[in-house]
Structure 1
Amino acid sequence: MKRTISKIKIEHRMRQKRNPILVNTIVKLKKTNVGIAKLLARPVKKTVRINLSELDKLVKDGEAVFISGKVLSSGNLTKKIKIVAWSASEKAKEKIKEAKSEFVSVAEEIKKNAELKGLRVIG
């Protein structure tokens, strides 16, 4: 049985965050997309860290995905995709560009797409 958290719990978790950009992002998303706000409000230990090789296996060509944590550089990316994530390592960003894919931070994507619609959520 999956446990869900309330908006009040999101508020409590936000108070523990030290990154002001992350806090502002969670506040904006809490109004438009509560599910993604909950993912970003998770404790650091529970955030997703995904390698490019795993991501390559999970997605289809031309797909747009949301990752609530960090994209790491292990493996290669062979598909042209759009990755919206909180962060990515420098090597991962280079490999994403080499694969002619696109990396966008969550804060940048909210400016264009406030509700983050059209993205497949991976963790």
Structure 2
Amino acid sequence: MSKTTQVKIERKTNPRTPVLIAALKEGSRQNEAAIWRDVAKRLEKPGRNYAQVNLSKISRYAKDGETVLIAGKVLGAGLLDKAVTVAAYNFSVTAIEKITSLGGKCLTIEQILEENPKGSGIKILQ
């Protein structure tokens, strides 16, 4: 009697995710920027393991004018006291309001990849 093993194939339900992962890997190869490969690996994990970062954590670890990348969602809890550029997979509505009210910018990961293909000066938070 032979045992059959089932192979679980992971598929992302959001069609944006596999396209973004492929773009990050391509950007990593073309620009020799390891940061994009790291972000792609983080996004390949199940969605329940994506980072969820509050504004209070961004305020604690980011300097004024710095660019921060979150491979997950930015949540609006906490106070932000400086203008920072935040790139993330997703944002809550309150997070967008608080970041932009201080003169900061909210970008998608696709936008930051296009604006800064070398990935220089970006801090990853998780």
- Structure 1-normalised TM-score? 0.81
The residue identity in structure 2 corresponding to 1:18 is: T
CA distance in 2, matches of 1:20, 1:113: 24
| Cα offsets for 1:82-109 (capped at 9, x unmatched) | 1010011011100111111111011222
Q: What is the aligned-residue identity percentage?
A: 31
Choose which of 16, 21, 24 in structure 2 pairs with 1:29: 24
Structure 1 counterpart of 2:86: 83
Paired residues for 1:58-77 under 5 Å: 58-77=61-80
Residue 4 of structure 2: aligned partner: none
Equivalent residue pairs, number: 111
User: Which deviations, in whole Å up to 9, do the C-alpha atoms of 1:20-69 show, x marking residues without a partner?
Assistant: 22211100111213111101112112111011112101111111111001
Q: Distance in 2 between matches of 1:117 and 1:36?
A: 14
- Structure 1 unmatched ranges of 5 or more: 1-11
For 1:39, the aligned partner's letter is R
Q: Which shows bigger deviation, 20-29 or 111-120?
A: 111-120
Q: Which runs of 5+ in 2 are unaligned?
A: 1-7, 29-35
Moved over 4 A (4+): none
What letter is aligned with 1:75?
G
TM-score (norm 2): 0.79
Residues 1-123 of structure 1: pairs in structure 2 closer than 5 A: 15-31=10-26, 32=28, 33-123=36-126
